[in-house]
Structures are given as C-alpha cells and as structure tokens.
Structure 1
Amino acid sequence: MTVKPGWTGRFLEDFEVGDIYEHPLGRTITSTDNTWFTLLTQNTAPLHFDHHYAKQTAFGRPLVNSCLTLSIVTGQSVTDVSQNVFANLEWAEVRMPHPVFEGDTLYSRSEVLGVRPSSSRADVGIVEVRTAGYNQDGAVVLTFRRTLLVYRRGHSPQRPVPAVDA
C-alpha cells in the first residue's frame, strides 16, 4: 500500500497574478442554515428567519443573511486560496448585486490580483484575490477583495504523522 498525500493547499510561491481558481464545492443554503446563523450572530432582522414577515416584503420570502453568504463563499475559497493562511488582513469592496434565497446553491471563483513577500515577516507573504460567488443560475451574488498573509513553503505548522502499525 502506498500512502499518497492529499491536497495541502497553495503556499506563497504557488500564486501567480492573473491565475483564476474555480473552487470545487457548491453549497445549497437551507432555511435551517439561514435561521441558525442569523440567530447565532444575534441578528434580529426578521427578514432572515420569520417566513410570515418575509412573505410581506418585496422579496416575498426570507433573504439569506448577507454575512452567511460572505462566510460560505469565503469558505469555498479556502482550499485554493487560504489553506495555508497565517492571517486574514482585509475584506474590501464587498458587493452583493443579487439577493440570495433559501434553497439557492452557491459556487465561487477567485482571481489572484497581487503577490509579494512580507516586509516584516520572512515566513509569509501577502496575497490579494478577488472572489465572486454566484448562484445556480450563474447570477453573481457577491464579490469582494481579500488580502491575506500566506505561509512560504516549508514555514507552515506541520501536522503529526501517525505511527505505523508493525
């Protein structure tokens, strides 16, 4: 039997300006997801969890909490962008051009805008990406720029290796 390592994400040296990553996972948002996230974060806007109330709005149904949308799309990008993150520095230019509803499925992609070494830390560098989230119909529901510190190859924390049974 041969042990083959899984994907461990990109390090600073793997990013190139102009690269586009189509993130592999989609995520369908349920009513439970929306309600739990909204109440967990102490958001009291009934538009997110009161179906009777939401039915009386121009949308006619609950809107997905914007912060949940941001969290899911950011999470989808981790495997390609920030698996080896040291720290997030900024989310900027967050735009939500299309509403997200319960039952929508979100997908995402990111484009690398900038890559440079850190001037204060030799073990990391700065990566900037533009990420777009879109729904099952291809409508863009979210865009943002994210700046993060990413480890250089050989400088990230290491996972333990399991003992091999004899």
Structure 2
Amino acid sequence: MTVENTGRCFEDYTAGQVIEHPLGRTITQNDNIWFTLLTNNTNPIHFDAHYAAHTEFGRPLVNSCLTIALVTGLSVSDMSRNAVNLGWDEVRIPNPLFEGDTVYARSEVLELRESRSRPTHGLLTFRTSGYNQHGQVVLEFRRTVLVYRRGHLPSVTSRPTMQERP
C-alpha cells in the first residue's frame, strides 16, 4: 500500500516540509447554524442575520470552533491519519470566515522527535493555516500529534466480505 491510501508515518515527515492539503470546503449557512446550535453557542452573530447585520461584519460569522474543526479535518489525510492529537496551541483567527466562503489548508512541519515512552511512535508538531478563496488567512494553529512509526500501524488483516443478495 502507498502513503496515498494508508497515510503518512513518522518517517515520512521532515522539518520544514510544507504540505498543501488537496481539498477545499465551502461553508454553507446550514453548516454554520447547525454547528452553532449543536454546540449550544448562544452568540447570535452566528445564527441571527438581522443581529449580525448590525455588527462591524455586516453578516453572520462562521463559528470559530467550526473553522478549527474544518481546517483540522482538511489536514487529517496528510498530517494525522495515523496519529492521536495531543493538543492545539497558539490558535489565532486573523480574519473572519463567512458563510459562502471556501476554506483551504496547508501545514508546515515544525518539529519531529522520537517518543521516549512509546518506541512505536514519534511526536510531530506542525503549523496549519486555513485560508479563504481570496488567500486571506482565517485561522492558524500549532498542533502536536503522536504518530505511528512505519511498521507499527494497527493491522487490520481482513476486510468484511459483502454478502451477495439471494
């Protein structure tokens, strides 16, 4: 199997490496309202267009927790498919994200080190930036993950067989 279908292992990263994540995601009004209500966020700037129209932004802002979740999700296939999150640090939101915007992501590897307590893993720290269709950065964060070393990925030896219809 290749990196494309199994994900990267610790040995597949180098300090300074920059990865442009392949997918973008357009944020809809429904995405923003559902996420905001699902998480019990009562700030009307996310779900009340009339209220938001009277703010300096003039329209609803995308919930910042949704922005973090989406940008993280855009990076998973390249950065943490074979990893466990240890933390997000230095989260910054330099520009707003609005309903109808498309968000993209890129990551830069900052640090790598072998795990002292888990010889089957390494620690990977990287900076991920989310940016909109105009190239404006809407989110930046550092993330540290515990990533499997090559040869130590969980082994799924078989895939269930689909039963044929009679």
Give your verdict on TM over 0.5.
Answer: yes
Q: Give the unaligned 5+ runs of structure 2.
A: none
Instruction: Please give the per-residue CA displacement for 1:35-54, whole angstroms capped at 9, x wherever unaligned.
Output: 01111111111100111111
Aligned-pair Cα RMSD in Å = 1.6
- 1:157 Cα deviation (Å)? 1.5
User: Where does residue 36 of structure 1 map in the other structure?
Assistant: 34
User: Where does residue 102 of structure 1 map in the other structure?
Assistant: 99
Give 1:159's aligned amino acid. Answer: V
- 1:159 Cα deviation (Å)? 3.1
Scaled by the length of structure 1, the TM-score of the pair is 0.92
- 1:68 Cα deviation (Å)? 0.4
Give 1:132's aligned amino acid. Answer: S
Distance, in Å, in 1 between the alignment partners of 2:64 and 2:42 is: 13
- 1:140 Cα deviation (Å)? 0.6
Instruction: Please give the per-residue CA displacement for 1:106-148, whole angstroms capped at 9, x wherever unaligned.
Output: 0010000011110001111100000100000000111110011
- 1:162 Cα deviation (Å)? 3.5
Percentage of matched positions with identical amino acids: 61
Give 1:36's aligned amino acid. Answer: W
Write the mapping of 1:15-94 to structure 2, written as runs, cut at 5 A.
15-85=13-83, 87-94=84-91
Scaled by the length of structure 2, the TM-score of the pair is 0.92
**Number of matched residues?**
161
Q: Give the unaligned 5+ runs of structure 1.
A: none
SS of corresponding position for 2:51: helix
Give 1:57's aligned amino acid. Answer: T
SS of corresponding position for 1:7: helix
SS of corresponding position for 1:113: strand
Deviating 4+ runs (over 3 angstroms): 162-165
